C-alpha cells in the first residue's frame, strides 16, 4: 500500500465532478485522478449490457494510474455494473456513489419513507430501493426518473422557468408519498439542487450522493490508515474520452474554478 | 448496379427514423437498411474528432449490406464528416441531409433570409450557411443551436408548457431577423414541428430536412434509373448499437407504427 497513490474516480461524463469537489472538500491532501467518458455520455438512457461494457472500459483506464481506492461517481454504473468494477479492481476497495447515498438516507430518515430521483436506468434498476432495504427492510422507497434534469443542468438552465415546470411535474410523484428524505441519485442533480428544494418543499432532507460518497471515503481511508500524509493540495488530474466545445463552460459550472489541463484518452 | 439493393440510411440514434419515414412515403417500393448508433448517441454535443471517428464506424456497418445509395440522416455528421462518409463509400452515391435541406431552403426563400436551427455541433460548424451560400452567396443565414430540443422530443414533451417556454427562448433569436424560411436542421425536430411553427409565427416556411433528403433521393435515383422495379413495400431493416428500454416507445413516436425486429450490432 502506498498512501501517496491517487484516489481514482470515474463517471459517464462530467457529472462526477460534483464528487471530485466533495472529495476535495473532505480530503484536500489527496491526489485525484478522474476519468469522464465524454465520448459516450450519457449512460442513463442506455441498456444494461452497454453500461456494463462501458464500465469495464472505464475502470481499465483508471487502473493504469494505480489508484489506492476507486470511486464510482456514476449512479447508473453503481446501479447496474458495480460487480464489473469490483471484479476488475481486485484488492483495491471500490465505493459506489449509490450505496453511500443509500446509507446516508437510511441514517437521515425519521419516518422511514425515502424518495429517490435518478436517470431512467438507475430508477428502472431499483438499485436504490434494494440498497436501502438491505440496510432496513422496513423503509418504503418511492422513485422517480427525471431524464430531462441532466440536459437542463448541462445547459445551465438552473433557474429557468422551464426547469421549474419540469421539476414540478417530476416531483409531483412525491406530493402524497409522505417522504421526509430525498436522494439526489444522479451526480448532475446537485447543480439543480435549489430548484429541487424549492419544488419539493420544506421539511424534506436532501441527500446529495456526492457528499455521501466523500464522507464514506474519508471514513474508510481513516480506518485503513490510507490517508495521504502530506499536507498539500493538488488540482485533479482529468482524463476524458472527448473534449467537446462546451467542456470548459461545464467544468466551471460544476467546479466553480478554471479548467486545468485535460488529457484525452481513447476508449 | 442492382436496383434491388437497399437504400442505406444512418444516424447517431433514432432521429433518422424521420428520414426513413419520408423515404418510405416518397419511395414505397425500396428496401431500407437503417443503422442508429444508439450506444453513443448523441453526437451533437461532441467534438469534431469524435464525430468523424463515429461516422467512419457507422458507414462500415452499413457497407456490409451493399447499399445502392447512402443517406446521411444525421445533420451533425453531414456538417462535420461528410467527406469521411464519401471516402468510405467509393462509387456509391452519398446524400447528406444537410445539403438537401439547404437546397430546398434556397428554392423556398423569397426575401433571401433563412433561419437554421440545429445541435450545437451543427450550428458551430456553420455548415448550413456554407451550403446555402455556395448555392446563392447573397442569402443571409441566421443560426441558433437548440440543444434541449432533442431530449425534449425524446421525452415526448411535444406539447408541454416547458417545451413552449424553451422554444420561445431559442427562437427569439429570429424575431428581428426578418427570415421567411426556417430549416429544421436536426432530424429530431420534426417531432416538435407544431410547437416550433406556433412559436416562430405565421408566414415562415418550415423546411424539414428529412422531407428534403427524400425528394433529393427520389430525383437522383430516377435520373440514374436505380429505382426498385418491384411494386412491393418493405418494413425497414433496423440495426442499432444499443437497445435501450425506451426504444420501442421512441420508435412509435417517430414512426407511428409498431416496432419490427431489430438487430443489435457492435461498434
| DSSP letter assigned to residue B247 | H
Interface contact B243-A47, CB threshold 8 A = yes
Nearest CB to B166 within list A124, A162, A242? A162
pLDDT value at residue B219: 95
Residue with cell 409565427: B201
Nearest CB to B39 within list A46, A120, A169? A46
Which helix (DSSP H) or strand (DSSP E) does residue B58 occupy?
helix B48-63
For residue B42 the three cell numbers come to 448523441
Cβ atoms of A267 and A35 closer than 8 Å: no
Measured between beta carbons, which residues in chain A are less than 8 angstroms from residue B148?
Answer: 148, 151-152, 155, 157
**Radius of gyration of the CA atoms of chain A, in A:** 17
Residue of A89, A130, A146, A186 marked catalytic: A186
Q: How distant is the Cα of A230 from the closest Cα of chain B, in angstroms?
A: 38
Return phi, psi of residue B148, to 5°. -85, -10
Cβ atoms of B71 and B95 closer than 8 Å: yes
What parts of chain A have a pLDDT lower than 70? 1
Whether residue B147 lies within 8 A of chain A, CB to CB, comes out as yes
CA distance B240 to B11: 10
Residue B140: count of CB within 10 angstroms of its CB: 16
Cβ-Cβ contacts under 8 Å between A and B: the total is: 80
Catalytic residue check, B89: no
pLDDT value at residue B240: 96
Cβ atoms of A158 and A195 closer than 8 Å: yes
What are B30's strand-pairing partners?
none
Residue with cell 452515391: B93
pLDDT band, residue B231 (cuts 50/70/90) = confident
Instruction: Give A165-202 pLDDT, tens digit per residue.
Output: 999 999 999 999 999 999 999 999 999 999 999 999 98
Of B255, B111, B92, give the one whose Cα is nearest residue B182: B111
The residue of chain B with its CA nearest to that of A245 is B47
Interface contact A46-B244, CB threshold 8 A = yes
Residue with cell 416562430: B200
Nearest CB to A246 within list B50, B120, B245? B120
Percentage of the residues of chain B whose pLDDT score is greater than 70: 100
Instruction: Give B104-149 pLDDT, tens digit per residue.
Output: 999 999 999 999 999 998 999 999 999 999 999 999 999 999 999 9
Of B75, B72, B69, B239, give the one whose Cα is nearest residue B150: B75
CA distance B84 to B95: 13
Residue with cell 498512501: A3
Measured between beta carbons, which residues in chain A are less than 8 angstroms from residue B245?
Answer: 47, 120-121, 124
Interface contact B39-A50, CB threshold 8 A = yes
For residue B62 the three cell numbers come to 452499413
Nearest CB to B155 within list A39, A148, A243? A148
Of B6, B55, B36, give the one whose Cα is nearest residue B217: B6
Residue B187: count of CB within 10 angstroms of its CB: 31
**The pLDDT of residue B1 is above 60:** no
pLDDT value at residue A79: 95
**The pLDDT of residue B232 is above 60:** yes
Q: Is B17 left (phi over 0), alpha (psi -120 to 50) or beta?
A: alpha
Amino acid at each position: 500500500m502506498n498512501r501517496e497513490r491517487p484516489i481514482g474516480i470515474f463517471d459517464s461524463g462530467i457529472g462526477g465532478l460534483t464528487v471530485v469537489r466533495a472529495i476535495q472538500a473532505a480530503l484536500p491532501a489527496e491526489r485525484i485522478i478522474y476519468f469522464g467518458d465524454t465520448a459516450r455520455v450519457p449512460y442513463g438512457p442506455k441498456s444494461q449490457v452497454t453500461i456494463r461494457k462501458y464500465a469495464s472500459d472505464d475502470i481499465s483506464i483508471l487502473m493504469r494510474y494505480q489508484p489506492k481506492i476507486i470511486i464510482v461517481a456514476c449512479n447508473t454504473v453503481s446501479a447496474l455494473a458495480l460487480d464489473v468494477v469490483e471484479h476488475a479492481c481486485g484488492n483495491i476497495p471500490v465505493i459506489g456513489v449509490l450505496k453511500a447515498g443509500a446509507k446516508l438516507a437510511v441514517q437521515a430518515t425519521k419516518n422511514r419513507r425515502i424518495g429517490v430521483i435518478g436517470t431512467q436506468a438507475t430508477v428502472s434498476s431499483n438499485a436504490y430501493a434494494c440498497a436501502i432495504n438491505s440496510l432496513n427492510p422496513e423503509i418504503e422507497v418511492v422513485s422517480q426518473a427525471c431524464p430531462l434534469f441532466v440536459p437542463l443542468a448541462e445547459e445551465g438552465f438552473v433557474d429557468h422557468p422551464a426547469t421549474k415546470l419540469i421539476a414540478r411535474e417530476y416531483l409531483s410523484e412525491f406530493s402524497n408519498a409522505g417522504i421526509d428524505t430525498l436522494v439526489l441519485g444522479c451526480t448532475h442533480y446537485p447543480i439543480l439542487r435549489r430548484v429541487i428544494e424549492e419544488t419539493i418543499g420544506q421539511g424534506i432532507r436532501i441527500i446529495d450522493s456526492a457528499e455521501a460518497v466523500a464522507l464514506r471515503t474519508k471514513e474508510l481511508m481513516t480506518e485503513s490508515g490510507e490517508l495521504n500524509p502530506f499536507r498539500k493540495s493538488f488540482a485533479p488530474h482529468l482524463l476524458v474520452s472527448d473534449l467537446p466545445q462546451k467542456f470548459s463552460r461545464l467544468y466551471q459550472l460544476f467546479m466553480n474554478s478554471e479548467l486545468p489541463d485535460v488529457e484525452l484518452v481513447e476508449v
